[in-house]
Amino acid sequence: MSAALTVIREHAEEGAKLRLSFFENNAERVDAVALALARCLAKGGKVLICGNGGSAADAQHMSGEFLGRFVMERPSLPAVALSVDSSTLTAVGNDYGFDDVFARQVQGLGRAGDALVAFSTSGKSSNIIRALEAARSVGMLTVGLTGRGGGLMPPLCDYLLDVPCPKTPLIQEIHEACLHLVCGLVDHYLFREPAALRGASD
């Protein structure tokens, strides 16, 4: 087997083992995140989503699934990826600094009853931490997707999905699977099992 094929096989095997282990240990937590977001949307809230680099792509991916559709045909769901407005990002970055590019948007767009979903593979990105702090200050639900123990994110998140792996690409692959599952389950709770929303405690 060539060196390149060995790299592919080892990556696939490591990723498959991590995926199986993560969802065996976190299935109930993923479900809880989806139920919490579904309740937020059912009550008229919206979902703000942020991340840097590959995690910014995850944020845009997730908002696209909510605004468009995931699998089932259903109404558009309100979601905003905070990484897409280049004018806002550069204005805030220039006037206040890059650490505040998401927090300022949360302060302007977020309200009590909304949710913030924050992606950070390290859990240490300053702009993600400040966004979570801003969300907490206005009474928003906070959800974090992270890795390596979550860095500074755990005390700022109502729900945390932490991938126990040192490799950023593999963490991101699990985050992708999580966002797909959450989007599918949000649709399920809103449009197929709405009784579960009424049954959950406030």
What band does 8 get if pLDDT is binned at 50, 70 and 90? Answer: very high
Distance CA 103, CA 120 (A): 15
Residue 9, pLDDT > 80, answer yes
What band does 14 get if pLDDT is binned at 50, 70 and 90? Answer: very high
Residues 33-50 pLDDT 10s: 999 999 999 999 999 999
Residue 1: the pLDDT is: 81
- Whether 17 is covered by a domain: the verdict is no
Distance CA 172, CA 170 (A): 5
CATH number at residue 129: 3.40.50.10490
Per the structure, the count of domains in the chain is 1
- Whether 78 is covered by a domain: the verdict is yes
> Of 105, 118, 103, 107, which Cα lies nearest the Cα of 56?
118
Q: Considering the chain, what is the average pLDDT of its residues?
A: 96
- Whether 2 is covered by a domain: the verdict is no
Domain that holds residue 96: 27-199
Distance CA 182, CA 125 (A): 23
- Whether 158 is covered by a domain: the verdict is yes
Residue 202: the pLDDT is: 47
pTM to 2 decimal places: 0.95
- Whether 52 is covered by a domain: the verdict is yes
Helix, strand counts (H, E) of the chain: 7, 5
Residues 106-156 pLDDT 10s: 999 999 999 999 999 999 999 999 999 999 999 999 999 999 999 999 999
